[in-house]
Amino acid sequence: MRVLLVEDDLMIGESLSEALQDEAYTVDWVKDGRDAILTLKVQPYDIILLDLGLPNIDGMGVLTAMRDAKITTPVLILTARDELNDRIKGLDAGADDYVVKPFELGEVFARMRVLIRRAQGKAGNQIQVGELILDTANKRVTKDNIPLELTAKEYMLLTTFMLSPEKVMSKTELEDSLYGWGGEVESNAIEFLIHSLRKKVGQQRIKNVRGLGWYISSSETEQ
Ligand code: CA
């Protein structure tokens, strides 16, 4: 899952972006509003964390530009305690929720999960495909109730597949969802990951559509 972090405070930005990566999110971090708008025009995200006080164009301006461009990605506002009016204006302008600085990381993550699953029309933290169950709150995956040991990248890949069962994803889409800017992607990294993931979730669970990509199938039978 890919996050756009818009924050001009270097300390907050650095610690948040590290913590998000530890939570198995792919993070792109921009430090002003203009870069945020430019980025949103070319890259889809699962969620946006948006500071309000920003150079060039402020958070409200980003929000307005986004909604004008019909970008419906959920937005979680990061706001200072004394910005109550801005917070209300932000919610009115189409933000989905906010957290007040200084915030607890646990609260940020919990609110992100709520917004992401609301955007995906899901009620709980558990996603099930066949005998696989993935819990996005504790990042655990079980197969037939037996826990699977996944690497961070395998977990991220499996989440991407399980959020859209039966949907074929191209290699580029998968790379976008797993690797942020500046992360060197080996040309066959996705193939290797799929190979190792299949060994854990079942060879027939992840199916290949030649020339188009891969998808997770709700049935594990041979095509
Ligand atoms: Ca700021």
Q: How far does the centroid of ligand 1 lie from the alpha carbon of residue 51, in Å?
A: 6
Q: How far does the centroid of ligand 1 lie from the alpha carbon of residue 7, in Å?
A: 6
Q: How far does the centroid of ligand 1 lie from the alpha carbon of residue 118, in Å?
A: 27
pLDDT in tens, 120-140: 888 788 999 999 999 998 899
pLDDT in tens, 49-94: 999 999 999 999 999 999 999 999 999 999 887 777 888 888 888 8
Burial class (CB within 10 angstroms; exposed 0-12, middle 13-18, buried 19+) of 177: buried
pLDDT in tens, 73-84: 999 999 887 777
Question: Region 95-116: what's the mean pLDDT?
Answer: 93
Q: How far does the centroid of ligand 1 lie from the alpha carbon of residue 8, in Å?
A: 5
Please tell me what DSSP assigns to residue 121.
T
Q: Using pLDDT thresholds of 50, 70 and 90, give the confidence band for residue 22.
A: very high
Q: How far does the centroid of ligand 1 lie from the alpha carbon of residue 108, in Å?
A: 17
Question: Region 35-50: what's the mean pLDDT?
Answer: 95
Q: How far does the centroid of ligand 1 lie from the alpha carbon of residue 100, in Å?
A: 12
Cα 45 to Cα 2, 84, 198: the distances in Å are: 5, 27, 26
Position 223 pLDDT exceeds 60: no
Q: How far does the centroid of ligand 1 lie from the alpha carbon of residue 113, in Å?
A: 23
Q: How far does the centroid of ligand 1 lie from the alpha carbon of residue 5, in Å?
A: 12
